[in-house]
């Protein structure tokens, strides 16, 4: 699936609801799902983990739709190596 396709699917399914709720409340949902991802990392069951990644992606795309961000453009930054050092594998020396 193209990233743009996912973003369009989320727009078709949730944009009206997302708009009604607004970006702060949508961001709150995103963080709730990141918390559920943390719990799934702790429990370690694969199906649950995949489901939480799914939800985080979905809420991220919803928030991108609300704020006018093109996730394809956002993702393109990582398409060809590290955006900081330009290399793949990354050669950055700090973390």
Q: Is 30 one of the binding residues for a second copy (CB under 8 A)?
A: yes
Q: Is 51 one of the binding residues for a second copy (CB under 8 A)?
A: yes
Q: Which string of DSSP letters, residue by residue, matches 46-64?
A: HHHHHHHHHHHHHHHHHHH
Q: Is 57 one of the binding residues for a second copy (CB under 8 A)?
A: yes
**Spatial separation of the C-alpha atoms in residues 47 and 75, rounded to whole Å:** 25
Q: Is 65 one of the binding residues for a second copy (CB under 8 A)?
A: no
CB of 71 to a second copy, least distance (A): 6
Q: Is 32 one of the binding residues for a second copy (CB under 8 A)?
A: no
- Taking the alpha carbons of 83, 95, 54, 12 in that order, is the dihedral positive or negative? negative
Left, alpha or beta for 87 (phi > 0: left; psi -120 to 50: alpha)? beta
Footprint on this chain of a second copy (rule: CB under 8 A): 1-3, 5-6, 9-10, 12-17, 21, 23-24, 27, 30-31, 34, 37-38, 41, 46, 49-51, 53-54, 56-58, 60-61, 63-64, 67-83, 87-90, 95
């Amino acid at each position: 699936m193209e990233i743009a396709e996912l973003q369009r699917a989320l727009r078709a399914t949730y944009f009206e609801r997302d708009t009604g709720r607004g970006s702060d409340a949508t961001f709150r949902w995103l963080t709730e799902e990141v918390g559920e991802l943390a719990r799934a990392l702790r429990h370690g069951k694969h199906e649950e983990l995949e489901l939480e990644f799914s939800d985080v992606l979905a809420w991220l795309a919803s928030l991108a739709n609300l704020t006018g961000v093109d996730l394809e453009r956002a993702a393109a930054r990582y398409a060809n190596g590290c955006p900081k050092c330009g290399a793949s594998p990354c050669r950055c020396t700090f973390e």
